[in-house]
Amino acid sequence: MRKVENRRAAVVLLSCMVVMSCDRHRDMPGYDFMPDMVYSQAYDAYSENPVFRDSLTNQVPVYGTMPRNQVAFRYSVFPENRLLAGQTLLSRDPMIMKHVFEGKKLYTAFCSNCHGESGKGDGFLITSKKFPATVKVGDLTDERLVKASRGELFHVVTVGYGLMGSYGATLSEKDRWKIIEYVKVKLQGQELGARTLAGANPALSEPYEEFEARIASDFERTDGVGPVSGVTLGALNQAWVTEGETLFKLKCSSCHKPTKKYVGPAPRGILDRRNPTWIMNMILDPDKMVKEDPVAIELYKRYLAPMANQSLTEDEARKILEYFRTLE
């Protein structure tokens, strides 16, 4: 009798297994014991979400908190802070060759599209012309960047620089240092694990007011060098002001803020310091200005950032100049 019951139980169990293993359709085999857990309702990262009060699926971290193993970075994007980072920051862990190899993988994933495999600024986004021809990517083998300390490069990777975005929230502190070590050792031929800090930059120790006073005292106000030979300012053209503001936001705002210093100087009050023609030439041909104009050379020493040529027309540069006239 017991054998019969065992056989019946086995038949029932086998029947259940057969039924549950049957296909509903080719892409969804079998039946689910707990479908509400198998088919949970998911939301795309940027879709609306009725679960949260603000209707955002991708929630912002709680104010004042940070992910585990992340470290607060208290150096702002200003050139002074980049130099300060170079004078004070070193990786917490000594770098070894293993970190260089790991840094190469990270560099390939996050940096090579712009900077290229050899670091010469010839990555795919540049050679494929995905970026405009006016966009210049830093050549990591350039003497200026070879001489830059590891802390300076770490600052750039963390908070960004000009058109380059910030990777502080994307990469851990340790991964950022690995990328820097790979660049220094393999692309720049520097000593592995060198723990040297940058020296002080006398150009940045001079207060801004004293800097401008020295420029006014040591150099005559000129028209600079470039395609423009003369600019006449008449009554303010409000239509030009509006167009100039739009162009400024589109072409210049990644490095300049209208009324405060950022990566570069603020244009507010610039007409009190420079001739209109000088301003136009600086906008239109900054490369030539930084090489040949003494005031532009002094500005480069102070702000440490070569101004990008945005390939603007003279008409567009004139409208940006008109916008500068309204900044007070």
CA-CA distance, 327 to 310, in Å (whole number)? 21
Q: Given this model, what pLDDT does residue 78 score?
A: 83
How confident is the model over 77-97, as a mean pLDDT? 89
59-73, 92-106, 189-203, 301-315: the lowest-pLDDT one:
59-73
Q: Given this model, what pLDDT does residue 116 score?
A: 95
**Model confidence at 100: pLDDT above 60:** yes
**Model confidence at 4: pLDDT above 70:** no
CA-CA distance, 5 to 56, in Å (whole number)? 57
Helix (H, G, I), strand (E, B) or coil at 137: coil
How confident is the model over 67-91, as a mean pLDDT? 84
Task: Give which of 95, 86, 99, 187 is closest to 141, Cα–Cα.
Answer: 187
Q: Given this model, what pLDDT does residue 163 score?
A: 79
CA-CA distance, 294 to 178, in Å (whole number)? 39
CA-CA distance, 98 to 111, in Å (whole number)? 19
How confident is the model over 119-142, as a mean pLDDT? 87
How confident is the model over 286-314, as a mean pLDDT? 89
Which is higher by pLDDT, 206 or 100? 100
How confident is the model over 283-306, as a mean pLDDT? 89
Q: Strand pairing partners for 25?
A: 28
Burial of 128 (0-12, 13-18, 19+ CB in 10 A): exposed
Which residue is it, tokens 């010469």?
A: 120
How confident is the model over 112-141, as a mean pLDDT? 88
- Domains of the chain in start order, with CATH, are 1-60 (no CATH), 79-187 (1.10.760.10), 202-324 (1.10.760.10)
CA-CA distance, 210 to 40, in Å (whole number)? 65
**Model confidence at 324: pLDDT above 60:** yes
Please name the amino acid found at residue 98: K
Reported confidence tier of residue 23, pLDDT bands at 50, 70, 90: low
CA-CA distance, 251 to 244, in Å (whole number)? 10
Q: Where is 25: in which H helix or E strand?
A: strand 23-25
Which is higher by pLDDT, 85 or 328? 85
Reported confidence tier of residue 214, pLDDT bands at 50, 70, 90: very high
CA-CA distance, 197 to 94, in Å (whole number)? 14
Q: Which residues fall within 8 angstroms of residue 283, CB to CB, at 6 or more apart? A: 310, 312, 317, 320, 321
Q: Which residues fall within 8 angstroms of residue 195, CB to CB, at 6 or more apart? A: 90, 94
Q: Given this model, what pLDDT does residue 17 score?
A: 66
65-74, 160-169, 173-182, 211-220: the lowest-pLDDT one:
65-74
Which is higher by pLDDT, 38 or 206? 206
26-35, 36-45, 92-101, 298-307: the lowest-pLDDT one:
26-35
Task: Give which of 278, 256, 276 is closest to 267, Cα–Cα.
Answer: 256
Please count the CA atoms within 13 angstroms of the CA of 266 that sit on its side-chain side: 12
**Model confidence at 284: pLDDT above 70:** yes
Task: Give which of 209, 207, 190, 179 is closest to 106, Cα–Cα.
Answer: 179
Q: Report the relative pairing of strands 28-29 and 23-25 from DSSP bridges.
A: antiparallel
Q: Are 282 and 276 in contact (CB under 8 A)?
A: no
Q: Given this model, what pLDDT does residue 273 score?
A: 93
Q: Is the dihedral of CA 140, 225, 231, 212 positive or negative?
A: positive
